Structure 1
Amino acid sequence: MVRRTREAAAATREQLLDAAERVFRDRGVTRTSLAEVAAEAGVTRGAVYWHFRDKADLFAAMCQRATSPMDTLAEQASEATGDSPIGTLRALCVDALAHLTGDPRTQAVFEIMFHRSELAGELAGIAERHDRDCRQARARVESVIARAVAAGELPRDTDTALAVEALYAYLTGLMHGWTLDPSSFDLRACAPALVDTFIAGLVANPPRVPRVPRAASRRDRLPVTG
């Protein structure tokens, strides 16, 4: 009996998360009420509050249920080995883009995050956690770029932190555009060429650590006479 009750509760929770995906996607997060999510799921409003504190808690659970391509990229980057760090980075980026195209749930959540939500007000706490998680993920990916520097695939003065910022901006920009209109281009088919474009630019002209001007010697500071 207890087991059936737990299974029923888990099933209701999944119904609510599925309903939240659909309603948030159609109406946007801000314009959606928990009563509308409950109606879409075919349950009472009280059932929503049994599983989730508020809309922010529901939204966070919906996001956590999806597998983020960028999180997967970071996890694999921290475990990656191989003779060519740049080759590893390329493969991970291609996989991240391909993953988005092959997972409808991830597509739905990314569309909601990019185009149907404002991470402010009641969702401000989620934005803060997202920023913190992104910083940690960037550090893992930066380690691959640092290995590329150590392997001689990138110059010694490459600004690895700025390089990873550029990489994230490039990939999330592609994801943003594609989720807005998936029919605009075939992201899975184009992923290798798109990643190669970034990698080629990174290798040919990486961001550099600014040179610190040499301090003037005492002789340089002496006034010119004569």
Structure 2
Amino acid sequence: MRRTKEDAQHTRESLLDAAERLFAERGVSRTSLQDIAKVAGVTRGAVYWHFQDKAELFNAMMSRTTLPMEDTLKSIDTEREANPLAELKASMMNVMRRIAHDPRTQRVFDIATLKVEYVEELSGIRDRHLNVHGSCQNHVEATFRRAQALGQIRADLDLHVLAVTYMALVNGLIHNWMLDQTRYGLVDAADASIDLFLKGLR
């Protein structure tokens, strides 16, 4: 029984590895489940045993790489944090360093930002993207609320607008860097940009 579970887990990981490779090379919409099965060395039936469809497989591929970064934001205690803005920046810089220096994370972000189309068969991917973005934005807004309560940012600022703007800044830095990594160093640009943004709130 244990061996069977280990084999199943190995097959699942092989499928995720194959999907990650093919999505990066061809794009998501131009990669079929048959293509993924062939590269993984399994039957198409094995794909459906592990994943309902391509969207579920894509989301599983994303989860094994990006969930730790989503957890980074969630680790900020928005109720008791003494320096929420510093923690917010530190958590985002961890994300930027991982994107810049970890090949798998960089490849998955490349797929997520440049190689996926939100067509009907991939609507589940769009739903996940929106859920993750919404969760992160809500956490950022809660962090700003804590900072405002502590008098670290101005009382007249709209926290929802701040959170939307912050997310646009972060996503823009990542997206533009993924398009052309020679334009700027992601970590240095993020460090300076986030500092400039946060200083403007005081």
Same-fold call, TM cutoff 0.5: yes
Tell me the equivalent position of 1:38. Answer: 37
1:16 paired with 2:30, answer no
1:107 paired with 2:106, answer yes
What displacement does 1:88 show? 2.4
Percentage of identical aligned residues: 43
- Asked if the contact 2:78/2:142 (under 8 Å) is kept, the reply is no
Separation (CA, whole Å) in 2 of partners of 1:137 and 1:187: 20
Separation (CA, whole Å) in 1 of partners of 2:71 and 2:197: 19
Tell me the equivalent position of 1:153. Answer: 152
Separation (CA, whole Å) in 2 of partners of 1:61 and 1:197: 35
Q: Structure 2: 5+ residue runs without aligned partners? A: none
Query: How many residues of Structure 1 are paired with residues of Structure 2 in the alignment?
Result: 202
Tell me the equivalent position of 2:59. Answer: 60
TM-score in terms of structure 2 length: 0.89
- Change over 3 Å in CA distance of 1:82–1:60 after alignment to 2: closer
Q: Structure 1: 5+ residue runs without aligned partners? A: 204-226
Larger Rg: 1
Separation (CA, whole Å) in 1 of partners of 2:48 and 2:185: 40
1:25 paired with 2:11, answer no
What displacement does 1:70 show? 5.5
Separation (CA, whole Å) in 2 of partners of 1:189 and 1:162: 25
Matched ranges for 1:210-221 at <5 A:
none
Amino acid in the other structure paired with 1:67: T
Over residues 154-210 of structure 1, what are the superposed CA-to-partner deviations in whole Å (9 max), with x where a residue is unaligned? Answer: 12121001101000010011111122233432223443223212223333xxxxxxx
Tell me the equivalent position of 1:121. Answer: 120
Tell me the equivalent position of 2:96. Answer: 97
TM-score in terms of structure 1 length: 0.80
Separation (CA, whole Å) in 1 of partners of 2:15 and 2:91: 33
Separation (CA, whole Å) in 2 of partners of 1:163 and 1:182: 27
Separation (CA, whole Å) in 2 of partners of 1:169 and 1:69: 21
